[in-house]
Amino acid sequence: MQDLRKIPQIEKILKNKIFDNTNKNILKNVIKNKINKVKNKIINGDKYNIENLESEILNEYKSITSNTLKPIINATGVVLQTNLGRSIFHKNLLNEVIPLLSHYNNLEYDIENGSRGDRYNHLTKMLQAIFDVEDALIVNNNAAAVLLILNTFAKDHEVIISRGELVEIGGNFRIPEVMKSAGAKLIEVGTTNKTHLSDYKNAINEKSKIIMKVHKSNFEILGFSSEVDIQDITNLCHENNLIDYYDLGSGYINGIDCNEPSLLDICKNPPSLISFSGDKLFGSIQAGIILGKKDLINQLKQNHLLRALRVDKISILMLQATLHRYITNNLSEIPTIDMLNKDTCILYQKAVSICDRIDIFLNPQVIEVDSLAGGGSLPNKTFKSFGISLQMKDIKASKLEKILRENLIISRIYNNKVTLDVRTIQDDEVEILINTLSNINNKRNNDE
Ligand SMILES: *Cc1c(COP(=O)(O)O)cnc(C)c1O
């Protein structure tokens, strides 16, 4: 066994110059853990090279204290990916909010009266004006909106919902479980593929409070299927004094060429309550946006849960900046919408110009691909796009995909080839992309 006394004292290690620019409290813990590991190793009879101790400690310290959130080049063509942070922002919006974040503001302050104001009022007028609805409320995300609405109106009561809409959105968000957390009783009606208005009608009793419609978001039932239109649910609810609530998931305002009704369409005859995410097709920050009847929104504001679901000032500012783009029809500054709207000719030119600059060893070729909206929205809609396929001799597509991924470029594999869909590659990422690709080649040559 090696001599344990050869391991230096903590105090001595701390004095080493290589640790000059470190946080000494954190470093001490790293050293302690490392020394324990090394002792165990030696006691177990393994060999350990004490010379490496300090550099290994420094590496460990660096890995603990470095930022884990990194910028990624999304070359998948999937515009909204929860794993990649969903919607991104145009720099102009960020510049606009900087002065408001580096100074105090009137988040909850009524400047006119010098009294307490309401953080929930900041966006109300704009949302009322855009959607022509009575009132609005913003919470932390759409999951919070669903929870708040069900808890406020249906605690110890019944919520009627179609079996075909008992969806799991991902990230463990399942409608039946949320219903339980809210204290509401779920009444499933219809079958997986078909639900009729009469199914809802027959389930109504004195305990019923809400008929909820949930956007299926991430899948579609094709073939022998039918669901009830929100308008018919709204009418049925009005006849029976129930609340009609539509969880839209990924609402969009306008500017997307698809078969789904926009928020503006739905709000022509709005349900009593709608909610949707701020960072899906709406193209802004994580938030749950609730629109609906004034008396219902007021009741939501009285629920103590709201305090726990409270939206932050950064979110309010980003939503405000996004709403301004919708008001002025400046959709090119909402990247989510802008990417989905990109003209195929422009995408083709972009693919060609990137392809021309990629080293020949990657065998780059422009190909036609299908982009997706993603993020649980427009499940079967594809957007024609162009990409660059890459192939390296003697390297499998899955291996090349991994190499790119480790270099923070996320690609997709089409027809057995790694492919970069240009739709989701930002203009200021092109240089980085091309440099990274040529570095991969240089590194490979050096390795050989
Ligand atoms: C995405 C989604 C949610 C959850 O919204 P978050 O903003 O991610 O919390 C809820 N309902 C539906 C139908 C969705 O698509």
- Could you say which of 3.30.2350.10, 1.20.58.220, 3.40.640.10, 3.20.20.70 is the CATH number of the domain covering 91-333? 3.40.640.10
Atom of ligand 1 nearest to the CA of 143: 9
**73-81+337-447 adopts what CATH topology?**
Aspartate Aminotransferase, domain 1 (3.90.1150)
Distance CA 29, CA 298 (A): 51
**What are the tens digits of pLDDT across the range 131-175?**
999 999 999 999 999 999 999 999 999 999 999 888 776 667 788
384 alpha carbon – ligand 1 mean position (Å):
26
The pLDDT score that the predictor gives to residue 444 is: 73
The pLDDT score that the predictor gives to residue 219 is: 63
Helix ranges restricted to H, 246-376? 263-266, 294-302, 305-308, 313-327, 335-341, 344-357
Q: Quick check: helix, strand or coil at residue 234?
A: helix
276 alpha carbon – ligand 1 mean position (Å):
7
Closest residue by CA, ligand 1 atom 15: 249
- Supply 441's token pair: 């080649």
Atom of ligand 1 nearest to the CA of 248: 13
- Dihedral sign for Cα atoms in the order 215, 221, 223, 227: negative
**What are the tens digits of pLDDT across the range 423-443?**
999 999 999 999 999 998 777
Closest residue by CA, ligand 1 atom 3: 249
Asked if residue 146 lies in contact with residue 247, where contact means CB atoms within 8 angstroms, the answer is: yes
Asked if residue 432 lies in contact with residue 409, where contact means CB atoms within 8 angstroms, the answer is: no
Closest residue by CA, ligand 1 atom 1: 249
**pLDDT tens per residue, the chain (448 residues)?**
788 888 999 999 999 999 999 999 999 999 999 999 999 999 999 999 999 999 999 999 999 999 999 999 999 999 999 899 999 999 999 999 999 999 999 999 999 999 999 999 999 999 999 999 999 999 999 999 999 999 999 999 999 999 988 877 666 778 888 899 999 999 999 987 889 999 999 999 999 999 999 987 666 666 777 888 999 999 999 999 999 999 999 889 887 888 888 999 999 999 999 999 999 999 999 999 999 999 999 999 999 999 999 999 999 999 999 999 999 999 999 999 999 999 999 999 999 999 999 999 999 999 999 999 987 788 778 999 999 999 998 899 999 999 999 999 999 999 999 999 999 999 999 999 999 999 987 777 776 6
421 alpha carbon – ligand 1 mean position (Å):
26
Asked if residue 117 lies in contact with residue 265, where contact means CB atoms within 8 angstroms, the answer is: no
Site to substitute for ligand 1 among 139, 149, 169, 276, most atoms within 8 A of C-beta: 169
Helix ranges restricted to H, 182-334? 197-203, 230-240, 263-266, 294-302, 305-308, 313-327
The pLDDT score that the predictor gives to residue 218 is: 61
Asked if residue 119 lies in contact with residue 109, where contact means CB atoms within 8 angstroms, the answer is: no
Distance CA 147, CA 181 (A): 8
Site to substitute for ligand 1 among 173, 174, 246, most atoms within 8 A of C-beta: 173
Atom of ligand 1 nearest to the CA of 377: 15
- Supply 195's token pair: 């639900």
Closest residue by CA, ligand 1 atom 11: 249
By C-alpha distance, which of 371, 372, 380, 377 is closest to 167? Answer: 377
Asked if residue 208 lies in contact with residue 175, where contact means CB atoms within 8 angstroms, the answer is: no
- Phi, psi (degrees; rounded to nearest 5) at 229: -65, 145
The pLDDT score that the predictor gives to residue 171 is: 64
Closest residue by CA, ligand 1 atom 6: 142
99 alpha carbon – ligand 1 mean position (Å):
31
Q: Where are the domains of the chain?
A: 4-65, 73-81+337-447, 91-333
Burial level of 45, CB count in 10 A (0-12/13-18/19+)?
exposed
* Binding-site residues, ligand 1, Cβ < 6 A: 141-143, 146, 169, 173, 214-215, 217, 247, 249-250, 277, 288, 376
